Amino acid sequence: MFKNKKGIGLIPLILIIVLVLVVGAVAIVLVLNKDNENDTDNKKETKISSNKSQNNKEQTTQKADDNEISVQSLLQHSASPESDFFCIEDGNGGMVLEQYLGNDEIVVIPETYKGKPIVEISKYTFANNSPVKAIKLSNSIVKLDDFAFTLNKNLEIVICGQNLQTIGASTFQACDNLKEISINDNLKHIGTLAFSQCQDLKSIHIPVTVNQIDGIAFSMMSENFAIYGKAGSVAETYAKENSITFIAE
């Protein structure tokens, strides 16, 4: 009835236009739905990634805690194998520990080497960047020579044996991470600079048996460093003369 100039009826033309619009609208809806699905997937992936990252952090923290060395774990640790050490004779029936050949973080020095008692740790044996973080001395050791542990940046815990009598000059000097040291009741002499610059060492117990503390044995310590000992002891006198906090036990 109604024709356009090219002979196509008006109604069919309108239907074509409507059909095009419907198809276009459907396409737009499909695209939007796809985008929403992608956003949802991305959010899920981000959440999963975040959870994995958190789990990794927790596992890393747990691993660090598991690897933490304590005084208790050191006390329970078995003696290091004789093959980890090199000793020489001292001429009096004892052995002097000259070198540590192992690479363990925890070291428990044995009582004997080749059947003879280890009585001394020589100069520089555990000095500089030794891997040792914690060490327990055998009861046979009576002397730590000068510089035996100096500049060991890894050392954190030291447990001395029952018969140690001498801690030499600069023995633990600049052991920045040394946090705990247990000294026996038979110690007699602490050399100059023995613990100088041990900034992480907050306190030390000095037994009444100590009768000589040389010069600046505890120089350049942390501000809150304190010496524990018996009232009237050499330790108290030294602390007062060097303006170090003394706490009587």
CATH number at 188 reads 3.80.10.10
Tell me which residue has tokens 């004997």: 112
> Strands (DSSP E) along 25-115, which ranges?
85-89, 95-100, 106-108, 112-113
Is there a contact between 139 and 116 (Cβ–Cβ < 8 Å)? Answer: no
Q: Which of 25, 41, 67 is the last residue of a domain?
A: 67
- Give bridge partners of residue 203 from the DSSP assignment: 226
Give 188's Cβ-side CA count (13 Å radius): 6
Q: Give pLDDT tens digits for 140-185.
A: 999 999 999 999 999 999 999 999 999 999 999 999 999 999 999 9
Residue 5, pLDDT > 50, answer no
* Residue 111 sits in the same domain as residue 32: no
Closest C-alpha among 215, 129, 143 to residue 177:
129
Two structure tokens written together for 216? 């600046």
pTM: 0.73
> Could you tell me the two tokens for 19?
């059909």
Q: Are 170 and 191 in contact (CB under 8 A)?
A: yes
Asked if residue 109 and residue 41 are part of one domain, the reply reads no
Domain membership of residue 32 as a residue range:
1-67
Backbone angles phi, psi at 121, to 5 degrees: -110, 125
**pLDDT at 139 (0 to 100):** 97
Q: Are residues 62 and 77 in the same domain?
A: no
Pair 202, 180: CB distance under 8 Å = no
112 lies in the same domain as 232: yes
Q: What is the 8-class DSSP label of residue 225? A: -
- Tell me, yes or no, whether 115 and 158 share the same domain: yes
Q: Calculate mean pLDDT across residues 83-100.
A: 97
pLDDT of residue 129: 75
The count of domains in the chain is 2
92 and 63 fall within a common domain: no
**Amino acid (1-letter code) at residue 224:** N
d(CA 208, CA 187): 9
108 and 27 within one domain: no
Q: Which of 14, 36, 67 corresponds to the end of one domain?
A: 67
Contact 159, 187 (CB under 8 A): no
Residue that is written with structure tokens 């055998």 in the block: 138
* Cα separation, 122 vs 102, whole angstroms: 16
* Domain edge (last residue) among 67, 92, 109: 67
Q: Do 59 and 121 fall within a single domain?
A: no
Verify that 56 and 103 share a domain, yes or no. no
113 shares its domain with 150: yes
Each residue of 186-242: pLDDT tens digit?
Answer: 999 999 999 999 999 999 999 999 999 999 999 999 999 999 999 999 999 999 999
Alpha-carbon gap, residue 195 to 222, rounded angstroms: 11
Q: In terms of domains, do 36 and 102 share one? A: no
Q: Are residues 143 and 219 in the same domain?
A: yes
